[in-house]
Structure 1
Amino acid sequence: MQRGPSESLLHQHMASVLSSLSVCPLSLCRIMKVKVLSRNPDDYVRETKLDIQRVPRNYDPTLHPFEVSREYTRALNATKLDRVFAKPFLASLDGHRDGVNCMAKHTTSLSTLLSGSCDGEVRVWNLSKRECGRTLQAHEGFVRGMVVRFCGTSFFTVGDDKTIKQWKMETPGYGEEEEPLNTILGKTVFTGLDHHRKDAVFATCGQQVDIWDEQRSSPIRSFTWGVDSFSSVSFNPVETELLASCASDRSIVLYDMRESAPLKKVIMTMRSNTLCWNPMEAYYFTSSNEDYNLYTYDMRYLDRPITVHMDHVSAVLDVDYSPTGKEFVSASFDKTVRIFPKDGGHSREVYHTKRMQHVICVKWSADNKYILSGSDEMNIRLWKANASEKLGVLAPRERESRNYSQKLKEKFQHHPQIRRITHHRHLPKNVYHQSKELRIMKEARRRKYANVRKHSKPGTVPVVSEKAKHVVTVVK
């Protein structure tokens, strides 16, 4: 191979240098210490061709001056993708011939749901197949309440026909008639029902709160406190001897089954419809109110709520906690379902569809993944608890990517751009305008109160916090 003129000149120059030094090239290599790069092949060679290429990385922060800006960009992209893939609606379970008035979760089966409608019909649903497995005519008139026994072998229903009925959970065999295991005839209409978490005891409410033993046809204890009627009753899932109820005189009453009289009650400015205990913290419960708000109380200090949850624009009809106790879901007359953090004043999510009417009842599934809502137009809707969550089995890389994105979003959640995208939600036109109107009214009230205090004699107009405004008194 013929060399170019430049290469030949270079070789001649090197030869002349070596000859002038009078040093043999071989001995020169022995004298010089040559440093070479050495790498461990395990750091960069894949074991199989399916493995990911390993990239060496030095985590020294001085070598990565733009790390924060890169992470911010990744967090912004992750936030945008969350909103792009936010598709919470999964399925609609139709079959009822009247509005869905109440629902009950199975205590041992994740895929089983019970629903009762305004025409007295009860349906048992298989959520994994999204179909109705059993239908029974339980009552004449509304089904006011239903609950599954703690062991899951039977369930109870109450209705407008003044009866309490116990039904087998199993579908009757071929040729068997659909008949209740037990029927108790009461003197008044029952409006609510709940079962003890450990014992064969359940509670009903109507004109009074009654405690029943499953083996007896008359209540073992009755509680009254000068109230016309009660709308709901609920056992504490942690301190199982405690229960609470919402009454028509705008009060929330607390009871202990070991006592002969109610413990205490808090009277609010407007009536509460239902309440739900926090399944992880025994002292806390949240009530849904007619004044468009929800209130979280500590039962030891009822003089003011811990948190006032505001976002609905109409009466809140039902509430249910997640099994983790960190969030709860609410159903409202304004045709929306909202998800609130337990210590947050505003909702993190709002679900609605064009055809969904007034939402009467709502439940959070026991695996913390789904939400079920029942509404006036005879449908039960299944939603994802996290709107952008991918369902099904995740590959390890997908899981790591999701966790990394979640941490980035938490790290940069207070940056204005990310906060704006995270909080933005599309609302129906009527809900949007009503919320705007309520905001203006609230600001006008606040401004008027400030002016009254400003132009009054010092000390005559007391300072009342937003939390204390909604409580009239606490009676013990």
Structure 2
Amino acid sequence: MDIFSGESKLNVKVLVRNPDDYLRETKRDIHKLPRNYDPALHPLEAPREYTRAMNAVKLERVFALPFIGSLDGHRDALTCLGKHPDHLSRLYSGACDGELKLWDVARRKIVYTVQAHDGFLRAMAFSQETSSLYTVGDDKLIKQWKTEEVDGSDLKAPINTVLTSGMLTGISHHRSKPVMATCGEACNLWEHSRAQPIKTFQWGVDSLQSIKFNQIEENILAACGSDRSIILYDMRESVPVRKVVLRMRSNSICWNPMEAFIFTVANEDYNLYTFDMRNLAHAINVHQDHVSAVIDVDYSPTGKEFVSASYDKTVRIYNSRQAHSRDIYHTSRMQRLTCAAWSLDDRFVYSGSDEMNIRIWKARAAEKLGVVKPREKTALRVNAKLVEKFAHHPAIKRIQRHRHVPKHVYNSRNELRSGRIAARRKDFNVRTHTKRPLPVIPEKSKFIVTEQQ
């Protein structure tokens, strides 16, 4: 249709529909539905994919067998685990009796055992520059061990020993420089060639439990204090940079290996907190689900997930951006967890516990070990995409999230949930019946007491 107005011309396109395509001849006829006659499109594509997704998620739970085996040989409870940066099959472990063991994870055998310290062996750290392992213990010593020999024979005696003024509880090594940091009564920086610390940081804390160097911003390190604080240091400065105090004490800290400013702490209040060091006024995420104090945390090499070990006798795996765990690992014999580590090939998780065992788990419970053929890889990728596509459907979501947990965890979780609901109800009642408006504190800031700079 053309409409003329003087010299202007306007083209109007009119939508024409044939009533025979959508109207019934009589009311007893069935309704006419539009249909795409393209042979490449299947009329039942969505139902068919839903059925495949349902089968895939069921098979995933059927084949979810995360436990691989245990490493038995310690005579006292585990305190720490160390991963060799160059050899995937080498694992170092320290115990409460001061023993240091080297394991061949592939064969599940002890390679070498040495009495490293008198009393607890508290922590260990690797130096890639010198291929050395550094350990600290209750005997106030820092010991350096060579780790080049396959049979562990270079662990017979330490190549260097440094006597310090106080008991040490943690150690971390700089990624590229010959510098390490220890924590105890204070945070000390050491060089390999010196027997005295080159720098000491103190900020009114009785003692520090855990210390870690940032692997990207290499001059930054963080520590957890006994006064419930998390302290950030810059080794180029002479004083600590920033401090945040939480409601309860943090037991362990770990930096994200792929994001420079992100770190996660394991806390006594059953939660883990992920912070951005540029803004400590509130947490990025609060990771829940544990029902007892969280003792240790370690990131995967990809930085997308981390593993936590808790006193509730369970290991949980979290997505770094989600509040709830994606998986929980437990056995009837496993007691309170003291340490956890994620293997450098992103396939396995190690846990150490009070009953003197190291357990090896799959990082993804349903993953097949061994050779996977190309056709099988393609099928697994397709199934994973289908499950991801229909992840929010109630039936698939229920199957995917369902886990069997120990009875004490199940009961404790219900008690904690009831407590949270009661606290929320009380807060609502107070706000409803109080004339003076109360400040609204976000959930991600409630556990923070103060921030100091």
Instruction: Write the deviation string for residues 180-234 of structure 1: whole angstroms up to 9, x where unpaired.
Output: 1111111111000111111111110000000000110000011000000000000
Is the CA contact (8 Å cut-off) linking 1:150 and 1:196 kept in structure 2? no
Q: Which amino acid aligns with 2:242?
A: K
Greater than 3 Å deviation, 4+ residue runs? 58-63, 170-177
Is the CA contact (8 Å cut-off) linking 2:146 and 2:159 kept in structure 1? yes
Instruction: Write the deviation string for residues 344-368 of structure 1: whole angstroms up to 9, x where unpaired.
Output: 0000000000000011100000110
Partner residue of 2:248? 270
Instruction: Write the deviation string for residues 275-297 of structure 1: whole angstroms up to 9, x where unpaired.
Output: 10000000000000000000000
User: For 1:111, which of 89, 112, 118 is the aligned residue?
Assistant: 89
2:70 & 2:233 partners in 1: Cα distance?
38
Partner residue of 1:467? 444
User: For 2:215, which of 209, 218, 237 is the aligned residue?
Assistant: 237
Partner residue of 1:289? 267
Structure having the higher helix fraction is 1
Q: Which amino acid aligns with 2:451?
A: V
2:99 & 2:212 partners in 1: Cα distance?
23
**1:73-152 mapped onto 2 (5 Å cutoff):** 73-151=51-129
2:74 & 2:449 partners in 1: Cα distance?
41
Alpha-carbon distance, 1:172 to partner: 9.9
Is the CA contact (8 Å cut-off) linking 2:254 and 2:264 kept in structure 1? yes
Alpha-carbon distance, 1:464 to partner: 1.2
Is the CA contact (8 Å cut-off) linking 1:107 and 1:151 kept in structure 2? no
Aligned pair 1:158/2:136, yes or no?
A: yes
Q: Which amino acid aligns with 1:236?
A: N
Q: Which amino acid aligns with 1:132?
A: I
Q: Which amino acid aligns with 1:68?
A: A
2:271 & 2:409 partners in 1: Cα distance?
15
Is the CA contact (8 Å cut-off) linking 2:71 and 2:108 kept in structure 1? yes
**1:316-335 mapped onto 2 (5 Å cutoff):** 316-335=294-313
Larger Rg: 1
User: For 1:180, which of 158, 170, 188 is the aligned residue?
Assistant: 158
Partner residue of 2:257? 279
Partner residue of 2:6? none
Alpha-carbon distance, 1:104 to partner: 0.8
Provide structure 1 residue ranges, at least 5 long, that are not aligned to the other structure: 1-57
Aligned pair 1:69/2:39, yes or no?
A: no
User: For 2:177, which of 199, 205, 216 is the aligned residue?
Assistant: 199
- Find the residue that maps to 1:161 and give its secondary structure: coil
Alpha-carbon RMSD across the aligned residues, in angstroms, is: 1.7
User: For 1:424, which of 402, 407, 417 is the aligned residue?
Assistant: 402
Q: Which amino acid aligns with 1:197?
A: R
Partner residue of 1:304? 282
Partner residue of 2:434? 456
Is the CA contact (8 Å cut-off) linking 1:168 and 1:181 kept in structure 2? yes
Is the CA contact (8 Å cut-off) linking 1:304 and 1:467 kept in structure 2? yes
1:214 & 1:250 partners in 2: Cα distance?
31
1:245 & 1:177 partners in 2: Cα distance?
29
TM-score by structure 2 length?
Answer: 0.90
**1:246-257 mapped onto 2 (5 Å cutoff):** 246-257=224-235
* Number of residue pairs matched by the alignment: 418
1:176 & 1:126 partners in 2: Cα distance?
15
Partner residue of 1:436? 414
Partner residue of 2:19? none
Instruction: Write the deviation string for residues 127-146 of structure 1: whole angstroms up to 9, x where unpaired.
Output: 11111101000001100001
- Find the residue that maps to 1:281 and give its secondary structure: coil
Flag the 1:175–1:316 CA change in 2: closer, same or farther, 3 A. closer
Is the CA contact (8 Å cut-off) linking 1:106 and 1:152 kept in structure 2? no
Partner residue of 2:380? 402
Q: Which amino acid aligns with 1:473?
A: T
2:264 & 2:382 partners in 1: Cα distance?
33
Q: Which amino acid aligns with 2:294?
A: V
2:319 & 2:153 partners in 1: Cα distance?
49
Percent sequence identity over matched residues? 57
TM-score by structure 1 length?
Answer: 0.86
Flag the 1:113–1:176 CA change in 2: closer, same or farther, 3 A. closer
Is the CA contact (8 Å cut-off) linking 1:108 and 1:151 kept in structure 2? no
1:207 & 1:314 partners in 2: Cα distance?
27
- Find the residue that maps to 1:226 and give its secondary structure: coil
1:221 & 1:88 partners in 2: Cα distance?
45
1:155 & 1:381 partners in 2: Cα distance?
22
